[in-house]
């Protein structure tokens, strides 16, 4: 029986674990970082909590041998991905990165692409006064000093960092619908949407809503992936990689 470590927390990670659950030749263990208070638990064995960086992950791999690693973490979990790539190299374990495709602008979109949270915060004062902020709870602190702007902050769990003084917090988990997103933006008189290019359908409705309302979108680009990483774009690709000879 082959043992696969899935670094998870995404819908793709759960779908992959479910697809492998009925395969008698494969045993899986999914690792969740533990940053969400009420995570959706995947099929198979699950561990919750960080490893302690690349050294901690390498130590865990030595004590818990696996045949391959699938990094199916969030596209913006750059540090986890870097640690996984280095630990896999050190332990000589094959690794693939599963990343859903990015969103791309379509006719009618008004995107302002920026490389990171800091650049997004710098750009905002010239775009509008009422901001819909959907960058995850850990990214909210980058906007805390923008006292002249008003923010609707949406996250799954409450931020543990400072948030803008003029803001309200909306706790919600996708998927969201386009009509509901339009109503939300109208209710709060939103001028600008700020989001990360996470990709996927769960939260894409906000982009459709912004297009319908003619709102600019500050789109934060993904961090680069490790140059040596094997990359697949969906669960089917990950399954093919796992089941191929290597």
CATH classification at residue 73? 3.40.50.720
CATH number of the domain within which 183 lies: 3.40.50
Residue 36 has a pLDDT of: 65
Residue 106 included in any domain: no
C-beta separation of 167 from 190 below 8 A: no
pTM of the model: 0.88
Q: Are residues 33 and 6 in the same domain?
A: yes
Question: Number of structural domains, the chain?
Answer: 2
Nearest-Å Rg of the Cα atoms of the chain is 19
C-beta separation of 145 from 163 below 8 A: no
Q: Are residues 159 and 116 in the same domain?
A: yes
Q: Are residues 66 and 132 in the same domain?
A: no
Q: Are residues 82 and 165 in the same domain?
A: no
Q: Are residues 85 and 163 in the same domain?
A: no
Q: Are residues 80 and 95 in the same domain?
A: yes
Q: Are residues 118 and 215 in the same domain?
A: yes
Per-residue pLDDT of the chain (246 residues; tens, 9 = 90+): 899 999 998 999 999 999 999 899 999 999 998 666 777 888 888 999 889 999 999 999 999 999 999 999 999 999 999 999 999 999 999 999 999 999 999 999 999 999 999 999 999 998 999 999 999 999 999 999 999 999 999 999 999 899 999 999 999 998 999 999 999 999 999 999 999 999 999 899 999 999 999 999 999 999 999 877 799 999 999 999 998 865
Q: Are residues 34 and 63 in the same domain?
A: yes
Q: Are residues 30 and 65 in the same domain?
A: yes
Q: Are residues 92 and 12 in the same domain?
A: yes
H or E stretch covering 210: helix 205-213
Q: What is the DSSP string of 186-199?
A: HHTT--EEEEE---
Residue 134 included in any domain: yes
Residue 246 has a pLDDT of: 56
Residue 131 has a pLDDT of: 98
Residue 39 has a pLDDT of: 76
Residue 9 has a pLDDT of: 86
Strands of the 192-196 sheet, one edge to the other:
111-114, 217-220, 192-196, 130-134, 150-155, 167-171
Residue 211 included in any domain: yes
Find the domain containing 17 and state its range. Answer: 2-101+223-243
Residue 78 included in any domain: yes
Residue 41 has a pLDDT of: 85
Q: Are residues 139 and 91 in the same domain?
A: no
Residue 83 included in any domain: yes
Q: Where are the beta strands (DSSP E) in the chain?
A: 2-7, 26-32, 45-48, 68-71, 95-98, 111-114, 130-134, 150-155, 167-171, 192-196, 217-220, 230-232
């Amino acid at each position: 029986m082959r043992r696969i470590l899935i670094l998870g927390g995404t819908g793709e990670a759960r779908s992959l674990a479910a697809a492998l659950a009925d395969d008698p030749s494969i045993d899986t263990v999914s690792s969740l970082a533990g940053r969400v208070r009420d995570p959706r638990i995947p099929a198979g064995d699950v561990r919750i909590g960080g490893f302690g960086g690349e050294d901690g992950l390498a130590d865990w791999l030595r004590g818990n041998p696996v045949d391959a690693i699938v990094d199916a973490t969030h596209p913006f979990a750059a540090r986890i991905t870097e640690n996984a790539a280095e630990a896999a190299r050190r332990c000589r374990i094959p690794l693939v990165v599963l990343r859903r495709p990015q969103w791309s602008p379509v006719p009618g979109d008004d995107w302002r692409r920026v490389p990171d949270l800091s650049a997004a915060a710098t750009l905002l004062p010239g775009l509008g006064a009422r901001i819909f902020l959907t960058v995850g709870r850990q990214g909210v602190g980058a906007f805390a000093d923008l006292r002249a702007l008003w923010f609707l902050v949406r996250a799954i769990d409450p931020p543990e960092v400072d948030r803008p003084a003029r803001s309200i917090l909306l706790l919600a988990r996708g998927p969201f619908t386009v009509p509901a997103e339009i109503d939300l933006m109208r209710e709060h008189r939103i001028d600008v949407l700020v989001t990360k290019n996470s990709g996927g359908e769960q939260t894409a409705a906000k982009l459709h809503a912004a297009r319908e309302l003619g709102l600019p979108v500050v789109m934060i680009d993904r961090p680069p992936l490790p140059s040596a990483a094997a990359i697949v774009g969906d669960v089917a690709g990950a399954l093919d990689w796992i089941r191929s000879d290597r």
